[in-house]
Structure 1
């Protein structure tokens, strides 16, 4: 036998793909999912009242929305708008955001705190013996008077501050003085 024939005999055959179709079961599952998806799209009514949640009637939700006479949760407003900078503990971030807990401008004259929150603050400020130089955005456009009164009342009472609540009249007066 020649060397060429011996080498070929020792080698494995070249690989090649077989004609292996996708299993019919897998094709059936895919087809069933596509049919179900199309059915769901056409049968769903996106303009109807959601069937999930607490299943309250939309009219009830509108009636329960806070109004000037309703109770607004100042802690919730603080959590959504202020906590990222001043922290849940009210201690702020050292050197970056001043603390609200025990701060003299929080527990002192309410008009000062109202002006800061209404119109914002930029530049140096000394709080609890530490110097801060940053920028606080104004919240006068984001919150109405009742919401401002609620969040400021929460801040003045939380973390052992124990200061009195701020009335909406104080907010209106401060907004009118600068408006």
Structure 2
């Protein structure tokens, strides 16, 4: 009975909705592994050491997010009126799809974006990254 219900529910979703859910779940797992130690599970950062993602204006710029996830950041950043200047290490081992999934998770979770960030968007962003 439960399997029939699951099949019925997933058959009612569009391919876009299914992909959004997939990216969200995968992104959550990757965020937990690679990001939450500093930015915390709730995205609120760690005191004055690490900036919050939840509520950050950076959520509006998916290209910026992709770049700092891959390349890290050494510049000072202001979030919520507070300055943060601890360097963020690069994540060079993450693949483009993994970065797309993390960007999807954080923007869907804390910006309330309803769609995933596709790999093409991330690949284009990574080709044009500035050093931060």
TM-score w.r.t. length of structure 2: 0.73
Q: Runs (4+) of structure 1 moved beyond 6 Å?
A: none
| Residues matched between the structures, number | 106
Are 2:39 and 2:51, in contact at CA under 8 Å, matched by a contact in 1?
yes
Q: Does residue 47 of structure 2 align to residue 94 of structure 1?
A: yes
Superposition map of 1:74-89 within 5 A: 74-89=27-42
Match of 2:126 in 1: 175
Which sections of structure 2, spanning at least 5 residues, go unmatched? 1-21
Alpha-carbon offset, residue 83 of structure 1: 0.6
TM-score w.r.t. length of structure 1: 0.55
Alpha-carbon offset, residue 176 of structure 1: 2.1
Are 2:73 and 2:88, in contact at CA under 8 Å, matched by a contact in 1?
yes
Query: How far apart, CA to CA, are the structure 1 residues paired with 2:47 and 2:37?
Result: 13
Which one has a larger percent helix, Structure 1 or Structure 2? 2
Superposition map of 1:94-173 within 5 A: 94-106=47-59, 108-139=60-91, 141-159=92-110, 161-163=111-113, 164-173=115-124
Higher RCO, Cα 8 Å, sep 6+: 2
